[in-house]
């Protein structure tokens, strides 16, 4: 315990001395975050913050030192997170590498794959995207048709992926391909693919929010080394499901409200106003209290689950509970924000709205996708019924 307190002092002093001032403000949008990668150009402070944190392995605090991680115990990692929160520090790096493919490779990748990919993920050199969904395979993911045919020490891949988040910005993709047409689940292989391989092309898709965060990805005679198979050929389905659990944990974790909590109260004071020290509208007061309590309960439960993950265990099917609850709670929060700010939360552009108000509209629209990405709410309910509660089909 004394060791942990010494560690806390050291961490605090180091962070305070080294974190650039501009990294001590909350992120205003996902665009301001550092996602790493070969293609992005980040401001100088963002790059420096990533570099010095990655040098210590603190972008991935609990990952093994031999692959560039921080090698911290889960208690030390918690201290680091607490001290970063105290200084209101931005995460030095975010993305699918840290949250999805990195943890997966640490669990089931072979030694060469770990040595090749994990250090680059820690340093934010490579940005990853996910090639799961296809035009005819979303909820029924195992229905995927992208075909991979063996040719010597390569697979030749042909097909189409869709809804590839940040496909145009990513350097590598982890994807599911069909290597056996006779068997549905037992004919799927999990591959790692460089997006610069000839035959890969991406086309952005525009969303209702106006942004284009995802793409269609077309694969035409793409040659992927057999060495890039994770696990065994035809045995990718279980690996695919393990990765989805990491993804669902990540999605739920993103809704652990940090700065947003005070934002909701601030907005309520501004747009509704107090009456005898309480929020004037009793119905809104009730809704706001309920959302905050539900959020607190989710945050605490997620923290417990995070502790388990840091102890080296992959998440189980209960990740579906967090995903379901976290995304639906986020939608309730966005609806409530709209009720609080009224017409001011319905602006799209123009002088009648502040930047923050325009952000409220876009956040609300973006939240509609939360209950679809990473598997819809209905699919999560099916998983919870079967795999968590053990109910019959």
Ligand X SMILES: Cc1cc2nc3c(=O)[nH]c(=O)nc-3n(C[C@H](O)[C@H](O)[C@H](O)COP(=O)(O)OP(=O)(O)OC[C@H]3O[C@@H](n4cnc5c(N)ncnc54)[C@H](O)[C@@H]3O)c2cc1C
- Residue 376 makes contact with ligand X by CB under 6 A: yes
Residue ranges in 236-389 assigned as alpha helix (H): 237-254, 259-271, 282-310, 319-341, 355-367, 377-383
DSSP for 57-79, written as a single string? TTTSTTS-GGGT-----HHHHHH
- Residue 367 makes contact with ligand X by CB under 6 A: no
CA atoms within 13 A on the CB side of 374: 30
Rounded Cα distance, 265 and 263, in Å? 5
Question: Which residue has its beta carbon closest to ligand X?
Answer: 138
> What would the two tokens of residue 22 be?
């501009």
DSSP 8-state code for residue 314: P
**Closest CB to ligand X among 199 and 369?**
369
- Residue 138 makes contact with ligand X by CB under 6 A: yes
Residues 30 to 69: which contact ligand X by CB under 6 A?
Answer: none
**Closest CB to ligand X among 301 and 376?**
376
- Residue 286 makes contact with ligand X by CB under 6 A: no
Nearest distance, CB of residue 206 and ligand X, angstroms: 13
- How many residues touch ligand X under the rule CB under 6 A: the total is 19
Q: Which of 54, 102, 375, 383 binds ligand X (CB under 6 A)?
A: 375
The owner of tokens 């806390």 is: 8
Given the rule CB under 6 A, which of 97-105, 129-137, 187-195, 256-264 is the region that contacts ligand X?
129-137
Annotated catalytic residue within 83, 247, 257, 318:
247
**Closest CB to ligand X among 54 and 250?**
250
Nearest distance, CB of residue 275 and ligand X, angstroms: 39
Binding mask 141-170 for ligand X (x = CB under 6 A): ----------------------xxx-----
**CA-to-CA separations, 186 to 74, 106, 341, in angstroms, rounded:** 36, 23, 51
At 8, phi and psi to the nearest 5?
-60, -45
Nearest Cα to 360, choosing from 271, 278, 285? 271
Nearest distance, CB of residue 333 and ligand X, angstroms: 17
Nearest Cα to 98, choosing from 250, 230, 227? 250
Given the rule CB under 6 A, which of 2-10, 127-135, 197-205, 341-349 is the region that contacts ligand X?
127-135
Residues 207 to 226: which contact ligand X by CB under 6 A?
Answer: 214
The owner of tokens 């115990």 is: 73
The owner of tokens 């706001």 is: 288
Is 247 annotated in the active site?
yes
Q: Which of 46, 59, 62, 133 binds ligand X (CB under 6 A)?
A: 133
- Residue 369 makes contact with ligand X by CB under 6 A: yes
Where does the chain show beta strands of DSSP type E?
Answer: 128-131, 147-151, 154-165, 172-178, 188-194, 200-205, 214-225, 229-230, 274-275, 278-279
List the catalytic residues.
247
Q: Would you tell me which residues interact with ligand X (CB under 6 A)?
A: 129-133, 138-139, 163-165, 214, 369, 372-373, 375-376, 378-379, 382
């Amino acid at each position: 315990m004394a060791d942990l307190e010494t560690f806390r002092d050291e961490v605090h002093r180091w962070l305070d001395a080294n974190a650039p001032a501009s990294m001590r403000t909350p992120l205003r949008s996902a665009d301001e975050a550092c996602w790493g990668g070969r293609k992005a150009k980040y401001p100088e402070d963002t790059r420096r913050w990533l570099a010095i944190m990655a040098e210590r392995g603190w972008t991935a605090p609990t990952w093994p030192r031999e692959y560039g991680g921080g090698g911290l115990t889960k208690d030390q990692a918690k201290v680091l997170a607490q001290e970063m929160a105290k200084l209101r520090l931005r995460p030095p790096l975010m993305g699918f590498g840290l949250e999805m493919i990195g943890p997966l490779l640490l669990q089931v990748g072979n030694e060469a794959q770990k040595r090749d990919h994990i250090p680059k993920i820690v340093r934010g050199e490579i940005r990853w995207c996910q090639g799961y969904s296809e035009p005819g395979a979303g909820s029924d993911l195992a229905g995927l048709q992208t075909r991979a045919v063996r040719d010597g020490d390569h697979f030749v891949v042909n097909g189409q992926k869709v809804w590839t988040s940040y496909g145009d910005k990513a350097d590598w993709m982890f994807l599911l391909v069909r290597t056996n047409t006779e068997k549905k689940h037992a004919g799927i292989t999990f591959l790692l693919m460089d997006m610069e391989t000839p035959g890969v092309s991406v086309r952005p898709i525009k969303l209702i929010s106006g942004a284009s965060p995802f793409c269609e990805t077309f694969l035409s005679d793409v040659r992927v080394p057999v060495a890039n198979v994770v696990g065994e050929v035809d045995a990718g389905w279980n690996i695919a499901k393990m990765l989805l659990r990491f993804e669902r944990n990540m999605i739920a974790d993103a809704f652990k409200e940090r700065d947003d909590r005070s934002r909701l109260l601030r907005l309520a004071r501004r747009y509704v106003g107090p009456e005898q020290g309480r929020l004037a509208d009793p119905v809104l007061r009730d809704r706001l209290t309920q959302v905050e309590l539900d959020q607190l309960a989710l945050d605490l439960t997620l923290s417990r689950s995070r502790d388990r993950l840091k102890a080296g265990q992959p998440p189980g099917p209960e990740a579906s509970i967090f995903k379901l609850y976290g995304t639906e709670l986020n939608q309730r929060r966005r609806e409530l924000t709209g009720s609080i700010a009224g017409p001011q939360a319905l602006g799209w552009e123009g002088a009648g709205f502040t930047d923050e108000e325009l952000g409220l509209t876009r956040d609300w629209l973006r939240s509609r996708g939360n209950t679809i990405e990473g598997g819809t709410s209905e699919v999560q309910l099916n998983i919870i019924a079967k795999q968590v509660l053990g109910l019959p089909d």
